[in-house]
Structure 1
Amino acid sequence: MSRAQEQPRAVVVGAGIGGLSTAVGLVRIGWRVTVLERAPELREAGAGISLLANALRSLDQLGVGEVVRSRSATMMPGGEGVRIPSGRRLMKPADPEFVRDHGLSVTVLPRPELHRALREALPPGCVRTGAEVTGIAQLPEGGAVLSYRDADSAAERTVRADVVVAADGKNSRSRRSLFPDAPEPVYSGHSVWRGIAEVSRAEEPGGTTWGNGLEFGRMPLVDGRGYWYAVTNAEAGTRRGDDHAEVLRRFGSWHAPIPELLRATPPEAVLYHDVFEFAEPLPSYVASSTALLGDAAHAMTTDLGQGACQAIEDAVVLCAALAVEKDVSAALASYDEQRRPRTRMIIEASRRIGRLKLREGKLGVLVRNAIMAATPPRAGERAMARIGDWYPPTLPGRVPA
């Protein structure tokens, strides 16, 4: 299936971070792009987001890396290391020389700011909101026709594309239509609160604290505020009347500055959600002229902070393949071949570390702490480098940062 001589066209389903990253990359390689977003307006919810070097290098290829840096704070991976609720250190910080040699710094910014940087890189009219995709029909001669419902007019519309990118999240309707027998993401067993503390902590190094089936992480933001997240083992669908009060109950007696951060967070701004992952891999990330991307392809736990990072990687790899390969089928096959092994490795690594750090019970916590004490620091650093010391392919016209 080869593209015609005229400018090729892509339709991206979903205007989250993965979908917008892909749209930015496709525009850069000369494609016409339409993004169909089901929500009535573009509004990325969320507190903060951290990007390891692999994601920031990918954003450089998309041409938005410097904008993102200007809106971000930078910290060492893992910050000051891992502590227990009393404040006693469980794991030392990463070796600065190792971090420098592998370029493994972490960039932290409010999630809406990353979303805004990507939107600003797109031409006007590229994103259609209130557009609910109702069907994807693959064409025998190549390409596809998407049907969608326009919320403004309630009319059914269609758009043709040489490539469809399904970036519509873990509950992807596109994935279900392409792989109706494939496994769905499953609940990971834990849930996350997130918030931004309205307090000035200019010297915040960041760090994590592991308790009994609990974890608390904190990171700096460029304006001095503090982004935090709190993880708990929980039953799926558990909801509480006051999430801010619940986080304070569980973490408010932990070591400084955790209580300060929680009390300085507006109660209405505390977010809570269950975490889902793919327990079984999809058989492929592509079908005909459609590519699955981000959580639609490889939903993972939050334990390594790689969900959005891997979606951004997906975007650059897909766009690079489409820029090099004139045959769409060959380009999508290349994308699938490159992305499935890496994302599967990260899904499994994230699951393993989550099960370790969220152990419960006195014996479970003692065993976990003993494992951490016996683990050489270099082992953890090498594991981090396998993820963060990754370089994206070069998009045409881009010079690697």
Structure 2
Amino acid sequence: MGGTAVVVGGGIGGLAAAIGLHRIGWQVTVVERAPVLDDAGAGISLAANGLRALDELGVGAAVRAASRGQYDGGTRTPDGRWLARLDGAALEAAVGTPITGIPRATLHRLLREALPADRLLTGTAADDVRQDGPARARVVCGGTVLDADLVVAADGIGSRVRSGLFPAHPGPVHSGSTVLRAITEHPVDLRTDFELTWGRGAEFGHIAFADGRAEWHAVLTLPARTRFADPLAELRRRFHGWHEPIPALLAATRPEAVLHHDVDELRTPLPAFTAGRIALLGDAAHAMTPNLGQGACQALEDAVTLAAALAAAPTVEAALARYDAERRPRSRSVARAARQAGRMGHQLAHPLAVALRNTAMRLTPSRAAVRVLLRHHAWIPPRLG
């Protein structure tokens, strides 16, 4: 089965969906509101499930070549003591690949390069998306009308398409946290590939890149829309006295490189990921907190599952029913686990609760931690051909 599709949103999920559809023979157009894709963003960790999805999309090898495997690291306290060490080699042996770290800009570029250049329309806002009869969907972009057999809404957590399809849904809510992140300006001397450090109501973490630079993030338990006049100075104040390499990472960062976003989520699950000939994908369907590093991986799973369903099913309707049935339970389970991880991680602030958690983590064997990760990482993608 072939057809025409319009993908609304040119982020990781939207580009992955377009690649999948292109690989199964569909004519795809991606419309992206931003006039220029300037590759903004920090870094990302890709687990085995996301990498397997990228393999099926034909870009896994290129992503691996540009990534750095996370073999050594774990979770620490602000004074530097280890709470848990994760054996990346053991995880690799279990699922066939290590978790890898890559700049978002690099991942985004590699995805764009996998599509014909004329398939991506930038500076093009989807003003209206609707079902147009029983077998067509329509996207209106200014004075241009794009008719298609399928519309994929990958327009992010604030999805206008989702709001139009499900007006009674409460939409995204604040998780109670805000995140600041950046990539260092130059390489930093790091002893580990990745780390998380949990303090009371705060988290600091880093992932190392292949070129020696690193992405760091700071998660703070704060009300929505809290902002700082000088974010980097604020972080230096808050994390003063925390163990190395936290001071070194902040010192290697330009103030203008710091990104600041509230952590929102779709806490109320959607009743469906599809409506007529329109499918929701990625954050538009299941925005989750980043505590398991699964947001992008789940979007990549969505993309491959959707393409495989369309390749195998006799009709678009049957394919979308299969996509919805496979993706909603899976993404809901991962989102629930991510939310719980945040509550047991940086959001803990009471000294007794923190002490109990720390003791439990120190007593947990590393192989048990690997088993927990396998629940999310051991996903096998459907084949696209």
Give me the TM-score of the superposition, normalised by structure 1. Answer: 0.92
2:137 to 144, 155, 158: 144
Letter in 2 for 1:389: A
1:167 to 144, 149, 154: 154
Q: Which moved more, 1:180-189 or 1:132-141?
A: 132-141
1:218 to 181, 196, 206: 206
1:359-393 CA deviation, whole Å, 9 max, x = no partner? 01322322322332454544322120011111111
1:104-140 CA deviation, whole Å, 9 max, x = no partner? 5111111011000011111121011121112123133
2:165 pairs with 1:178: yes
Q: Counterparts of 2:63 and 2:118 in 1: how far apart (Å)?
A: 22
Q: Counterparts of 2:80 and 2:29 in 1: how far apart (Å)?
A: 50
2:365 pairs with 1:372: no
2:27 to 29, 32, 37: 32
The question of whether the paired residues in 2 share the 8 Å contact of 1:301 and 1:307 is answered with yes
1:70 to 65, 68, 74: 65
1:44 to 39, 43, 63: 39
2:373 pairs with 1:384: yes
Cα shift at 1:289: 0.4
Q: Which consecutive residues of structure 2, in runs of 5 or more, have no partner in the other structure?
A: none
The question of whether the paired residues in 2 share the 8 Å contact of 1:145 and 1:161 is answered with yes
Give me the TM-score of the superposition, normalised by structure 2. Answer: 0.96
Q: Counterparts of 1:195 and 1:122 in 2: how far apart (Å)?
A: 28
For residue 363 of structure 1, what is the aligned residue in structure 2? Answer: 352
Superposition pairs for residues 1-400 of structure 1, below 5 Å? 7-76=2-71, 79-94=72-87, 96-149=89-142, 156-197=143-184, 198-201=186-189, 204-358=192-346, 359-396=348-385
Letter in 2 for 1:395: L
Letter in 2 for 1:242: D
Q: Counterparts of 1:370 and 1:109 in 2: how far apart (Å)?
A: 32
Please give the root-mean-square deviation of Cα atoms over the aligned residues, in Å. Answer: 1.5
Cα shift at 1:228: 1.0
Q: Counterparts of 2:89 and 2:62 in 1: how far apart (Å)?
A: 26
The count of corresponding residues between Structure 1 and Structure 2 is 383
The question of whether the paired residues in 1 share the 8 Å contact of 2:86 and 2:369 is answered with no
The question of whether the paired residues in 2 share the 8 Å contact of 1:167 and 1:294 is answered with yes
Cα shift at 1:53: 0.9
Is the partner of 2:358 in helix, strand or coil? helix
The question of whether the paired residues in 1 share the 8 Å contact of 2:48 and 2:95 is answered with no
Q: Counterparts of 2:92 and 2:113 in 1: how far apart (Å)?
A: 31
Q: Counterparts of 1:40 and 1:97 in 2: how far apart (Å)?
A: 44
Is the partner of 1:132 in helix, strand or coil? coil
Cα shift at 1:203: 5.1
Letter in 2 for 1:372: M
Is the partner of 2:291 in helix, strand or coil? coil
The question of whether the paired residues in 1 share the 8 Å contact of 2:151 and 2:279 is answered with yes
Is the partner of 1:86 in helix, strand or coil? coil
Q: Counterparts of 2:95 and 2:166 in 1: how far apart (Å)?
A: 38
The question of whether the paired residues in 2 share the 8 Å contact of 1:16 and 1:44 is answered with no
The question of whether the paired residues in 2 share the 8 Å contact of 1:143 and 1:162 is answered with yes
**Alpha-carbon spacing, 1:241–1:260, altered in 2? closer, same or farther (3 Å):** same
Is the partner of 1:363 in helix, strand or coil? helix
Q: Which consecutive residues of structure 1, in runs of 5 or more, have no partner in the other structure?
A: 150-155, 397-401
Q: Counterparts of 1:104 and 1:213 in 2: how far apart (Å)?
A: 32
For residue 152 of structure 1, what is the aligned residue in structure 2? Answer: none
The question of whether the paired residues in 1 share the 8 Å contact of 2:91 and 2:98 is answered with no
Letter in 2 for 1:139: D
Cα shift at 1:255: 0.8
